[in-house]
Amino acid sequence: MSAAGVTVRRVRAGEGARVRELRLRAVSDPAASIAFLTTYEQERDRDPAFWDERAAGGAAGDTAAMFVAEDGDAWVGTVTVLVRRAGDVDHTGRRLHDARADVVGVWVDPAARGTGTIDALLDAAARWTRDQGFEVLALDVHVDNARARAVYRRAGFVPTGEEFTGPIGPELAMSRSLRTL
């Protein structure tokens, strides 16, 4: 998939160092405190093996998929989908009653914002999720993150009516139907 010269693809095993670099950029974003569950310092201090495992897990299999947006050789965005089964505890600590596919780790470099990169990333995530047999793609967003809420609405996500207090404060759940993909 391509948007404004950007190519979206699934991360590859062996790209752990690049995954780490992108994550450090993401959690350094001024809005990171209302968008991510971890800090720059926490991510910086992780062992290289952690990043290699994250890349390998996001590259293959049906429980996680990490997508990156490339502009030439530069990575300018990312999104990950985590598949949760009924009974699992999600990233916010909630026990799930039904299986669900969650979008997490969404970030686009400020220079690539407004170019369609986020749409291409979310569309790739939606296609992969549908291919896993899900009819809905879910995400949680901090209630004060107006920019992210607007982007998600434009990408077809709608509030589910569920609001809760998670590790980063008050959040609302949103979902996107995958029936028309």
Please compute the mean of the pLDDT values over residues 9-33 and round it to a whole number. 94
Mean pLDDT of the chain: 93
CA–CA gap between residue 165 and residue 171 (Å, rounded): 6
Tens-place pLDDT, residues 41-75: 999 999 999 999 999 999 998 999 999 999 999 99
- pLDDT band at residue 115 using 50, 70 and 90 as cut-offs: very high
CB of 80 closer than 8 Å to CB of 57: no
CA–CA gap between residue 60 and residue 62 (Å, rounded): 7
Q: What is the pLDDT of residue 4?
A: 63
CA nearest neighbour of 28 among 40, 42, 46, 41 = 40
Of the two residues 79 and 93, the one the predictor is more confident about is: 79
CA nearest neighbour of 57 among 19, 26, 86, 94 = 19
Q: What is the pLDDT of residue 134?
A: 95
Whole-model pTM?
Answer: 0.92
